[in-house]
Amino acid sequence: MGTVTELDRFDVLSAREVDDAVNCQWRIARRPQGNVRPEDFSWHVTDVPEPGPGEVLLKTLYLGLAPVMRFYMQGTARTGDDILQPGDLIHGRGVAQIVKSRHPQWREGEVVQGQMGWQTWKVSRMTPQEKFFRMPNNGLPAALGAGVLGMTGLSAHAGLFACGQPRAGDRMVLSGAAGGVGSMVSQLAANVAGCDVVGLAGGPDKCRFVLQHGCSAAIDYKAEAVAARLDELRPDGIDLYFDNVGGEILSACLERLRMHARIVLCGSISEYTRDEPFGLANYTRLRATDSSMRGFFVYNHLDRWEQVMEDLAGWIRGGKLKPVQDIANGFAEMPRALANLYYGQNVGVQCCSVRGEPGEWL
Amino acid sequence: MGTVTELDRFDVLSAREVDDAVNCQWRIARRPQGNVRPEDFSWHVTDVPEPGPGEVLLKTLYLGLAPVMRFYMQGTARTGDDILQPGDLIHGRGVAQIVKSRHPQWREGEVVQGQMGWQTWKVSRMTPQEKFFRMPNNGLPAALGAGVLGMTGLSAHAGLFACGQPRAGDRMVLSGAAGGVGSMVSQLAANVAGCDVVGLAGGPDKCRFVLQHGCSAAIDYKAEAVAARLDELRPDGIDLYFDNVGGEILSACLERLRMHARIVLCGSISEYTRDEPFGLANYTRLRATDSSMRGFFVYNHLDRWEQVMEDLAGWIRGGKLKPVQDIANGFAEMPRALANLYYGQNVGVQCCSVRGEPGEWL
């Protein structure tokens, strides 16, 4: 982790102006080393592309941001089939409107979400690899497609329900509880599954936030002794640990498992800026309690997309899930919005309103 | 690991003579540091105890040996409710015959298995904590109760079927394949579940052994480059890894998981003589393939004892499971038989014929 003032260095990038008459892009200038820095991003301006037969022209409305994007920039994670190289457009999903269509199955005016890349316009053949979905006009803001009703929402739903198998009354612990996936998991676990959730977050503001979003207790991992607080708050141990951070907190939870406990490995943000990966020395603790540790990757759960989105929209309308998105204002803010994730600055799902418009349904 | 010649130092203990007119015991002389050594054991002789009301007198016939016993001696594993102290009788399960009974539910002549401790006679109230089971006279040697039809068998069955969820055609990898649990798992996986099993074992003799006991291929982890051989033998990755060793081999398998792969943590013998526990740095590999790592402890599966023993006996009679027990000859050999496990000397289930009698049904 760097100091938060390093984020001020992104001011120079934020000064870029988006002109709707051209296509603005953020590309990889160099591979990030440790945290992302302004020098890792380059700004490109091209013509707005013209769709050919079988193609559509998409106007980017909102883009989502996720910790995995640093791996895309570093070339250590695949995006579909590709490893990104310096000079490449940065991968990212978002919400867009089809403004021209020469594709038989997609109509002008439709609002979709899918792989847009960090750019303000895109011509697409709408291939399966881009994973475009129509956004249902369910009365909810279209911006939610860049997070709560997008891949972040699918992560929270699949991770908690399909992988975590929560049971009413489960003594649960959740790390990264104020983050994108975390702020959804805490609410779904408490309000839908009936778990009792202890949330870990960094700083008093985030701890207050998690108490308002499903957690019955909060641990400030920056200020408190995590192990001692877990002993206090989970004296009978842990049935379900939803892990967004990895490292020492995962290790502390492994020491406190109840019989048939489940650990869900969703993210490992503590790993992302470490020089050496964390060596999990107490993995054998899974044995005494017949516990399991299950990983998942959101793209493996796309086959349940429609049902998951229906579930989530229903819970939002029913008041069980308050959508929380931290919306950066304008496409120029994308690099800083990404950096925010690693500096722990965001609350809820980090996304960006590309044209700085409010997040209402279109 | 020490050198095998260190095992010769156990000769001095093996010279002890067992006299049926007294009760001979092996107790903890001191906490083992690293491998067990002759100096860690002390020999005690007491009168054969007399059963009071509600008690039985048990004559020990066979005792089983398992890697966990070093932890009992070190005081780092619980045996039921207790932590053993220096001076205490070493815990161990075995097969015994009731030679006197003042207990209403147990008859003279019955053959049982349960917690005997390392001694030649025991008076017992047959408490639930001692977990005594009647041995069915199924025509199989009573000695099997000290392993294949005892806790080792329950470990293999529960670990493979209840935890591993094997499917026909699974590309499986098994470490410790020539050991007690391993030599059973390989056969059950291949002959009952229909998996294709690559077995890891130390040395050419053990590799030959595993090929005769269910494995379609063997890796000699002492002589071969494990990662390269896994790439050769499992070019499409691993569906199921049954782990008896932990450490580097677990880590190598984590790099080669197929979708929805399962890892069963049964034992971690590579951890037992390490100074520092192994830091599992690539646990996050569970994520990309939606895989899971499940631990288990055999005592958590006792409720299925009768069904498991029926299954195993049936498979032995049907030729699907060849019972392999490595039987030390005489109670004086117990310390060396335990040391064998850590020096990788045993093939199959290590046990001991307390009175040096052959392993027939009584």
Regions in chain A scoring below 50 on pLDDT: 1-2
Nearest to A291 among B268, B285, B295 (CB): B295
One-letter amino acid of A165: Q
Q: Is residue A162 classed exposed, middle or buried when 0-12, 13-18 and 19+ CB atoms within 10 A define those classes?
A: middle
* Residues paired with A111 in a beta bridge: A97
Q: Which two tokens stand for residue A99?
A: 């403004």
Nearest to A286 among B279, B284, B293 (CB): B293
What span, in angstroms and rounded, lies between the C-alpha atoms of B226 and B246? Answer: 14
Question: Is B281 close to A278, i.e. CB distance below 8 A?
Answer: yes
What span, in angstroms and rounded, lies between the C-alpha atoms of B163 and A16? Answer: 55
**What is residue B3's predicted lDDT score, i.e. its pLDDT?**
60
Closest residue, chain A, to B279 (C-alpha): A279
Question: Is A283 close to B290, i.e. CB distance below 8 A?
Answer: no
**What is residue A1's predicted lDDT score, i.e. its pLDDT?**
45
Nearest to A286 among B259, B278, B294 (CB): B294
Question: Is A295 close to B279, i.e. CB distance below 8 A?
Answer: no
Residue of A260, A269, A283 to mutate when probing chain B, most B C-beta within 10 A? A283
Degrees, nearest 5: CA angle A350-A353-A355: 160
For A83-103, give the DSSP string: ---TTSBPP-EEEEEEEEE--
Confidence bin at B357 (pLDDT 50/70/90): confident
Quick one: angle between helices A226-233 and A247-254, nearest 10?
A: 40
Can you give the length of chain A in residues? 362
Q: Which two tokens stand for residue B359?
A: 């392993």
Distance from the Cα of B283 to chain A's closest Cα (Å) equals 7
Residues 6+ apart with CB under 8 A from A230: A173, A198, A219, A238, A252, A253, A256
Distance from the Cα of A164 to chain B's closest Cα (Å) equals 11
- All residues of chain B having their beta carbon less than 8 Å from the beta carbon of residue A297 are 287-290
Closest residue, chain B, to A158 (C-alpha): B290
Residues 6+ apart with CB under 8 A from A4: A343, A345
- Does any CB of chain A come closer than 8 Å to the CB of residue B291? yes
- B2 pLDDT higher than 60: no
* Residues paired with B82 in a beta bridge: B79
Nearest to A287 among B276, B283, B296 (CB): B296
**What is residue B1's predicted lDDT score, i.e. its pLDDT?**
45
Q: Which two tokens stand for residue A315?
A: 């819970």
Helical (H) or strand (E) element with B177? none
**What is residue A223's predicted lDDT score, i.e. its pLDDT?**
97
Dump pLDDT digits (tens) for B244-286. 999 999 999 999 999 999 999 998 777 666 677 889 999 999 9
Q: Which two tokens stand for residue B62?
A: 């066979």
- B185 pLDDT higher than 70: yes
What part of B 300-329 touches A (C-beta under 8 Å)?
Answer: 300-301
First to last CA, chain A: 38
Distance from the Cα of B153 to chain A's closest Cα (Å) equals 17
In this structure, how many other beta carbons lie within 10 angstroms of the beta carbon of residue B85? 10
Q: Which two tokens stand for residue B360?
A: 């027939």
What part of A 261-290 touches B (C-beta under 8 Å)?
Answer: 265-266, 268, 271, 276-290
**What is residue B273's predicted lDDT score, i.e. its pLDDT?**
63
- B290 pLDDT higher than 70: yes
Q: Which two tokens stand for residue B194?
A: 């229909």
Confidence bin at B342 (pLDDT 50/70/90): confident
- All residues of chain A having their beta carbon less than 8 Å from the beta carbon of residue B262 are none
Question: Is A277 close to B268, i.e. CB distance below 8 A?
Answer: no
Structural domains in chain B, sorted by start: 4-140+324-353 (3.90.180.10), 151-299 (3.40.50.720)
Q: Check if the beta carbon of residue A362 is closer than 8 Å to that of residue A356.
A: no
Residue of B259, B284, B289, B297 to mutate when probing chain A, most A C-beta within 10 A? B284
What part of A 224-263 touches B (C-beta under 8 Å)?
Answer: 246, 259
Give the Å distances, CA to CA, from A214 to A155, A173, A187, A326, B215: 17, 12, 4, 18, 50
- Does any CB of chain B come closer than 8 Å to the CB of residue A155? no
Question: Is A291 close to B292, i.e. CB distance below 8 A?
Answer: no
What span, in angstroms and rounded, lies between the C-alpha atoms of A52 and B316? Answer: 69
What span, in angstroms and rounded, lies between the C-alpha atoms of B3 and B272? Answer: 16
Average pLDDT score over chain B: 93
**What is residue B68's predicted lDDT score, i.e. its pLDDT?**
84
What span, in angstroms and rounded, lies between the C-alpha atoms of B297 and B227? Answer: 28
Question: Is A290 close to B246, i.e. CB distance below 8 A?
Answer: no
**What is residue A124's predicted lDDT score, i.e. its pLDDT?**
98
Q: Check if the beta carbon of residue B249 is closer than 8 Å to that of residue B270.
A: yes
In this structure, how many other beta carbons lie within 10 angstroms of the beta carbon of residue A9? 15
One-letter amino acid of B317: R
Nearest to B290 among A278, A289, A295 (CB): A295
- B65 pLDDT higher than 50: yes
Dump pLDDT digits (tens) for A272-291. 666 778 899 999 999 999 99
Helical (H) or strand (E) element with A199? strand A196-201
CB pairs under 8 A between A and B: 98
Degrees, nearest 5: CA angle B249-B254-B256: 100
Residue of B283, B296, B303 to mutate when probing chain A, most A C-beta within 10 A? B283
Dump pLDDT digits (tens) for B103-121. 999 999 999 999 999 999 9
Q: Which three-class secondary structure state does DSSP give residue B166?
A: coil
Question: How much is the average pLDDT of B213-225?
Answer: 97
**What is residue B356's predicted lDDT score, i.e. its pLDDT?**
86
**What is residue B81's predicted lDDT score, i.e. its pLDDT?**
62
What span, in angstroms and rounded, lies between the C-alpha atoms of B271 and B74? Answer: 14
The percentage of chain B sitting over the pLDDT mark of 90, rounded to a whole number, equals 83
Q: ipTM of the assembly?
A: 0.90
Distance from the Cα of A216 to chain B's closest Cα (Å) equals 28
Nearest to B300 among A285, A290, A297 (CB): A290
Q: Which two tokens stand for residue B130?
A: 């001692």
